Structure 1
């Protein structure tokens, strides 16, 4: 149960932190409020979700041998997802 909480908290926290920083930058005027429209953005979101699910499975199955590396990888993925999800919203978020 603790491992599930750790990896979910890692992912949710990374998305929230990065998304909040991007939203703050847009609202403060430091970043352009124009939406970032990447081709295949829904495909990128789906791939990110599947990669997280796979990483979560690997983390829960690992006996702690490489669990910290998986947590760091999930944190990086979460930051990229937060950036992509919030940057694709235009206007005042």
Structure 2
């Protein structure tokens, strides 16, 4: 059973890339709040957040690629309509 992601047991869940994109937007907002703080600790946190943003962007790209492969190979997901998962075991 998944908590956040769409699945046969959680048809109202989200796509991985959508969750990652929302998380990236939150990190960007956090970065905006600390850009004017010139203390070394703030600079350190900002640098870490910038690295995290890069990794999130890479993860979003991978998740979007997986969705495209599934769509191309098996058609659109029918999990929201109670359909079987496109890959994996029930």
TM-score for the superposition, normalised by structure 2 = 0.43
TM-score for the superposition, normalised by structure 1 = 0.42
Q: Which has the bigger relative contact order, CA under 8 A and spacing at least 6?
A: 1
Larger radius of gyration between Structure 1 and Structure 2 = 2
Higher helix share: 1
